[in-house]
Amino acid sequence: MFELYQLEEFIKVAECKTLSKASEELNISQPALSRAMKNLEDEAEVPLFNRVKNRIELNDNGILFLEIARKVVSDAHMLKDRVKEYDRSKRTVFVASSAPAPLYLAVPKLSELYSAMMIATELNDEKTVLNGLRNGTYSAAIISHPVEDENIVCVRFSEEHLCFFLPEGHRLAHMKYMKLSDMDGGTMLLRSNLGFWQDIVDKKMKKTHFLVHEEDAFNELVMASNIPSFTSTAVQGRDRNIKNRVTVPIIDAEANVTYYCLVLRKNYQFFEKFLKSLPL
């Protein structure tokens, strides 16, 4: 019976077309590789190569053997990856969300309730998040609209309301509420990795020049500059430490979101204690 490493060596020899180059890439000596290919032919009980000066070429048997060997190696690696993924899934709660804020709430609660498991997260668009839940890629999903599906349990998760975060001296800092269009134009600071919020501000504020920064740099710039930015009810606890800024709620419907947590009905028993803790 062929060993997997023998097939991988054979594939490398076929791709390199010379034993010297293949042995270099495989990090084994050329004589050892030559013996390995001869042993492989002995086990196959048919010749696989036409040996010519300074080259080693596949014969018809070798061409067929290469086709099958590639499939066997690919299937073997897929088998290993699938088993590892299955094992990981038994020890990991993988939560995907279409916006970052729900993950700030979900991760601590899941860590508290499922302390023996690893909590993994991913930010993606709503279609990908929902499809990932259905095909088993994600354990749970959080999106900005309810889903009616007999195979999915849908529970209200939380709310998030977007606000402008303006310097105290800004001309609109006195406003009780605003629309996104009221600030369209000029320059604003923006967090990176906003999920669907990015699409909303891009659509509603096309004339605005956004300076996009990662979380740490963003917070430093908000504290040090007079450039307007956004905050939300989900992150205002962290933003309270930033002085000389005024929070103005945004009344556009798109800026006020209710999130829903989704799990497959077959997994409800596992997630029951988490779902019963909602909304957060």
User: In CATH, what number is assigned to the domain containing residue 67?
Assistant: 1.10.10.10
Residues 221-237 have a mean pLDDT of 86
Q: Do the beta carbons of residue 19 and residue 12 sit within 8 Å?
A: no
Mean pLDDT of the region 34-63: 89
Residue 280 lies in a domain: no
When pLDDT is averaged across residues 241-251 and rounded to a whole number, the result is 88
Provide the pLDDT for residue 223. Answer: 86
- What are the structure tokens assigned to 68, written together? 């099958």
> Residue 239 above 70 pLDDT?
no
Average pLDDT over residues 226-234: 91
Place of tokens 């086709």: 67
pLDDT-derived band at 210 (thresholds 50, 70, 90) equals very high
Encode pLDDT of 17-28 as tens digits.
Answer: 888 899 999 999
Closest CA relative to residue 167, chosen from 88, 221, 96: 221
For the chain, the domain total comes to: 3
Question: Is the distance from CB of 246 to CB of 168 less than 8 angstroms?
Answer: yes
Q: Give the chain's length.
A: 280
Q: What is the pLDDT of residue 197?
A: 93
The three-state secondary structure class of 91 is helix
User: Rounded distance, CA 215 to CA 223, Å?
Assistant: 12
Provide the pairing of β-strand 92-97 with 118-123: parallel
Choose one of 69, 85, 101: the last residue of a domain. Answer: 85
Distance CA 62, CA 237 (A): 67
Query: Does residue 130 sit in helix, strand or coil?
Result: helix
- pLDDT higher than 80, residue 240: no
Among 251, 255, 229, CA closest to 242: 229
Q: Which of 32-46, 54-68, 212-226 has the lowest mean pLDDT?
A: 212-226
Same domain, yes or no: 195 and 249: yes
Q: Which residues pair with 123 in a beta bridge?
A: 97
The pLDDT tens digits of the residues spanning 175-205 come to 999 999 999 999 999 989 899 999 999 999 9
Asked if residue 128 has pLDDT above 90, the reply is: yes
Alpha-carbon distance 148 to 166, whole Å? 39
Q: Where does a domain end: 85, 102, 120? A: 85
Above 90 in pLDDT, residue 256? yes
Return the pLDDT at 45.
Answer: 92
* CATH number, domain containing residue 151: 3.40.190.10
| pLDDT at 93 > cutoff 70 | yes
> What b/e sequence results for 240-254 when a residue is b if at least 16 CB atoms lie within 10 Å of its CB, and e otherwise?
eeeeebbbbbbeeeb
**Same domain (yes/no): 180, 226:** yes
Q: What is the pLDDT of residue 268?
A: 95
Is 141 among the domain residues?
A: yes
Kindly state the helix (H) or strand (E) to which residue 26 belongs, with its residue range. Answer: helix 19-26
- 105: its two tokens: 């709430």
pLDDT in tens, 164-180: 999 999 999 999 999 99
Mean pLDDT of the chain: 91
Q: Same structural domain for residues 268 and 134? A: yes
The pTM of the full predicted model, rounded to 2 decimals, is 0.68
Same-domain status, 142 and 183: no
Say what percent of the chain tops pLDDT 70. Answer: 96
CA 183 to chain centre: 32
| Same structural domain, 133 and 261 | yes
- How crowded is the C-beta side of 163, counted as CA atoms within 13 Å? 21
- With contact defined as beta carbons under 8 Å apart, do 244 and 222 qualify? no
